[in-house]
Structure 1
Amino acid sequence: MLIPSLAGLVGGTVLPLLGAVPDGAIMLFSGLGDIDDAQESLSVGVGALAGSTIMLLTIPWFLSVYSGRVSIISKNGGKTLNYHGKPKLTPKLTDGTGVQATTTIKHGATIMILTIVPFLLIQIPASVIGRSDEAELAAKERWFAFVAFFICITGFVLYLYVQVKISHTGEDTDKRTAIMKRLILSGEISISAALSDTVSIEARRMDNENKQKNQNYYSSMEEYFEQENPSNFRIPSAVKDLLHEILRELFSKYDLDHSNDLDRVETSTLLMDLNEHVSNDELEKTFKRYDSDNDGVINYDEFVSALYGIMMSRYHRKNINNLENSLVDSEGRPINNDEVVDEQSEEEDMPDDFAHLSPDEQKKAILRRSIFLLGVGTTMVLVFSDPMVDVMKEVAVRTNIPSFYVSFILAPLASNASEVIASIYYASKKTRKTITVSLSALEGAASMNNTFCLAILMGLIYFRGLAWEYTAETIAIVVVQIIVGSMVLRSDIITTFQASIILLLFPLSIMFIAIMKALGFD
C-alpha cells in the first residue's frame, strides 16, 4: 500500500489472500496423512475455520465499534452521528453511541452473506443423508463436496476480481488514504512518496504540453513552481483531493492556537512530521510566496498550495539530472532511453528508515522489502502450520478437550491477531473512513474464509474421500454471519449496544455447538 499504483493489486488481492493463508494452511495440513488419522484431524481444520470466522465477526467487531463510537445526536427530526463535533463522544449509555454503517460496509455484508452458499451445498445433503458409517457418508457426500468446491473457487476468483476492480475505480480510496496517513505519521514514508504516482502523472502531462524538451525546460519548471505567483497555477483535482483527505485533519491538529492559520513554527513542525524536510531558507521563501496578506501566517488553502508547489519543484529539480528518463511521447508515456538503474549504490546506502530517500528510491526499496517479507512470512506460515496442527491435537489429548474446541480458540489467536489489532487501530480514529476500513476488513476476512478456506476443506473431502460431519459448526458459522450481516443492512447506524449483542455471539456459539454435539447432531 506504500506504492499507490499497486494499491489495487495489494489491497484488493494480496492482503486478503495472505490473511487467509494461515487458516487455510492449518485446514490443509489437518486433512493430510493417513486417511483414518486425517478424518480425526479434520476437526482441527473445521475448528480453525469456525473459530476464525466467528471470532473475527464478534470480538474485534465489538472492539472496533467500541473504539470508533461517537455520540448519536438528534438532527432534523432524525438521528445522526456526531463525527464533526468537538468532542465527538460524550459520556452516554451504550445505545446513545455508535458508528456509521457506510455503503462500503453494507456491500461487504451483502458479499459475506452470499458467500455462505457453499456451506449449504454440503450441509443440506449431509443432513438429508443422515447417519451412516464414515466411508459410506464420504462416498455419498463426495460429489456434493465437488460442487461446493467449484462454487468456492468461483466465488474466490470473483471476490478478488471485484476487489481489484473496486480498487482501480477508486472506490477504496478511503482505505488507501487511511493507510497513507498512518504510514506518513509513523515516519515510514514521506507525503511526496505517498503521492509520487499522482504527482508524476501530472508532471508528465505538463511536460507533454510544453514543446521544448530540453534541460532548460526542467530548469524553467522548477523556477515556475518556486517563483510564479501561486494563484497562476492550478492544482489538479486528483492531487487536490488526496491532499485534502490527508491534510485536513492534520492541519487542525497542528493549529495549536485554533486560529485556522499556521505560523512558521507550526508549519515547520507539520512539514517535518510529513517527512518533508524544509530548510529555514526554503520556509522563508514559502511564506514569502504563499502568505498573500503578509500577516506572518498561512491558512489551510495556502498550505495545500505551498505543499503542492514544494513537491512539484522537487520533482522537476530531480529531473534536471535525469532528462533522458523523463521524456514522454505524444500520448504522455515516458520514453526510457536508458533503463539502467544504479541499484548497487542504492543498496549500499539503504537505511532502515526510507523517509529521507527520494520518492522513486523509496518505491523501489519498499517494493523489494515488501516482496521479501511477504515471501518469508508466507513460507514461515506454511512451515509451522503442520506442527501447529499436531500441537493442537496434543493439547486436546492432554486437557481431555475435543480438538475442535482447542483449534476454535487457539487458531484464531495465532492467525488473526494482526487483523484484530489493525481493525481496532483504524476504528479508534473515530471517522467514517476509518470505521469503514476497520469493519469492511473483518467482513472481507469472513468472505475469504467462506471461499478460499472452505474450498480447501471441500477439496479434502472430495479428493481424499473424507466425511463432512460438522452440522453444529456449519449452523453456528452461517447463523453468526447472517445475524451480523442483517444488523449492518437494516440500519445506517451500528450502535454500541448492537455490537455488545454481537460480542455475545462468540460464547453463545461455543455453547450452541457443544449442546448440538451432545444431542448427537453430528
Structure 2
Amino acid sequence: MRLYEINLNEDDAVDKVMKDFDESQNNEVDFDEFVAGIGKWLEEAKGSKIDAHIAGPDTLKYIHEYYEETKREHDLLGDDGGEDDEEEGVDDPHGTSIKAVLYLLFGTFIAAAFADPLVDAVGNFSTATSIPSFFISFIFLPLATNSSEAVSAIIFATRKKQRSASLTFSELYGAVTMNNILCLSVFLALVYVRGLSWDFSSEVLVILIVCIVMGVFGSLRTTFPLWTSFIAFALYPFSLILVYVLDYTFGWS
C-alpha cells in the first residue's frame, strides 16, 4: 500500500492521511470514510508497479506478497512489544528480586556443600575406570554443570524472535564470562597464593586455543549463520583429541 510514502516523522503526516480519508472535510474520520480510504489505498497498491514481477498487480496474491515482504522488513526492526511483553511482564518486581536473590544464595550454598564430594566422586570414578579425570571433567561434568544454561538457551532460541535470540546470546556470554574469567581468576589466585604446582600444559594450551579462536571469530561478526555452529561444535572433539595426542603421544604433562 506504499505507506512508506507518508513520512510519519514529518509535521504534515496527519494532513497527508486526512487528505485521503476525510472526504467530508470535517477533520474527523468516521467508519465509512475509513473503509473508503483503505479501499482507495488498496486500489493504488494493486495498480502499483513495485515488485510486479512477483505477481500480477491486479491480483490479491500481489497484495498478500507485498504484505508478507513488509512484515519481514518489520521483523528486522525487532520486537516492539505486543503479546510477548504481556507474557513476560513482572507483576511484583520487588518480590521477584528478593526471590531471585534467595535462589542465588541457595544455589551458592548447594555448590559449597557438594563441591568437595563431587571432586572426590570424579577422582574415585577415574581411578575405578582408569579414565583420566580430565576427560571425565570435559565430557560428563559439563552435561550436569551447564545443563541449566543449555536448556535456557534452547528455550529462548525456539521462540525465533530477535529479542529471544538476544537473550540466548546473553545466556551464552554470561556462561562464558563466568567459566573463563571469574572461575579461572579464582582458580589461578588459589594456585598463586598457596604455591601449588602447575602440571597441565596441554590442557591449558587447548583451552587457550579454543578461547582465542572463538573470541576472534565472535569479534569479527555481528550475525552468526547456521554453519558457524558447526565450527563451534567441531572445537569440542578437537580439544579432546589434541589433549590426548599431547599427553600420550608427545608426553606433555
TM-score bracket relative to the smaller structure: 0.5 to 0.7
* 2:211 aligned to which of 481, 498, 501: 481
Which residue pairs with 2:144 in the alignment? 414
Greater RCO, CA 8 A, separation 6+:
1
User: Structure 2 matches for 1:461-476, cutoff 5 A?
Assistant: 461-476=191-206
- 1:84 CA drift (Å): 5.2
Q: 2:97 & 2:153 partners in 1: Cα distance?
A: 24
* 2:234 aligned to which of 504, 507, 518: 504
* 1:403 aligned to which of 119, 133, 152: 133
Q: 1:407 & 1:437 partners in 2: Cα distance?
A: 27
Which residue pairs with 2:39 in the alignment? none
**Residue 202 of structure 2 contacts residue 252 of structure 2 at CA under 8 Å; is this kept in 1?**
yes
- 1:520 CA drift (Å): 1.4
Q: 2:154 & 2:70 partners in 1: Cα distance?
A: 18
TM-score (norm 1): 0.32
* 2:220 aligned to which of 476, 490, 496: 490
**Residue 83 of structure 1 contacts residue 431 of structure 1 at CA under 8 Å; is this kept in 2?**
no
Which residue pairs with 2:59 in the alignment? none
Which residue pairs with 2:97 in the alignment? 367
TM-score (norm 2): 0.62
Which residue pairs with 1:520 in the alignment? 251
Q: 1:500 & 1:363 partners in 2: Cα distance?
A: 39
Q: 1:474 & 1:424 partners in 2: Cα distance?
A: 29
Greater Rg by CA:
2
* 2:158 aligned to which of 425, 428, 436: 428
Task: Note the residue ranges of structure 1 that are not aligned, 5 or more in a row.
Answer: 1-81, 89-99, 101-173, 175-243, 252-270, 276-354
**Residue 156 of structure 2 contacts residue 168 of structure 2 at CA under 8 Å; is this kept in 1?**
yes
* 1:246 aligned to which of 77, 81, 102: 81
Task: Note the residue ranges of structure 2 that are not aligned, 5 or more in a row.
Answer: 1-68
Which residue pairs with 2:188 in the alignment? 458
User: What RMSD, in angstroms, separates the aligned Cα atoms of the two structures?
Assistant: 3.1
**Residue 83 of structure 1 contacts residue 430 of structure 1 at CA under 8 Å; is this kept in 2?**
no
Q: 2:226 & 2:155 partners in 1: Cα distance?
A: 17
Q: Determine whether 1:380 maps to 2:215.
A: no
- 1:381 CA drift (Å): 1.3
What SS class does the counterpart of residue 423 from structure 1 fall into? helix
- 1:419 CA drift (Å): 0.8
Q: 1:386 is matched by which residue type in structure 2?
A: D
Change (3 A) 1:390 1:497: same
User: Structure 2 matches for 1:193-342, cutoff 5 A?
Assistant: 245-247=80-82, 250=84
User: Structure 2 matches for 1:67-82, cutoff 5 A?
Assistant: none
- 1:444 CA drift (Å): 3.1
Q: 2:240 & 2:162 partners in 1: Cα distance?
A: 33
TM superposition outliers: structure 1 runs of 4+ over 4 Å: none
Change (3 A) 1:437 1:370: closer
The one-character-per-residue Cα deviations of 1:455-499 (angstroms, maximum 9, x if unpaired) are: 222122222221112221112111112222232233343221221
Change (3 A) 1:516 1:377: same
Change (3 A) 1:427 1:274: closer
The one-character-per-residue Cα deviations of 1:367-387 (angstroms, maximum 9, x if unpaired) are: 333332222221011101110
The one-character-per-residue Cα deviations of 1:192-216 (angstroms, maximum 9, x if unpaired) are: xxxxxxxxxxxxxxxxxxxxxxxxx
User: Structure 2 matches for 1:62-101, cutoff 5 A?
Assistant: 85=72
Q: 2:70 & 2:157 partners in 1: Cα distance?
A: 13
**Residue 487 of structure 1 contacts residue 494 of structure 1 at CA under 8 Å; is this kept in 2?**
no
- 1:402 CA drift (Å): 0.9
Q: 2:167 & 2:71 partners in 1: Cα distance?
A: 19
Q: 1:398 & 1:390 partners in 2: Cα distance?
A: 12
Q: 2:88 & 2:177 partners in 1: Cα distance?
A: 36
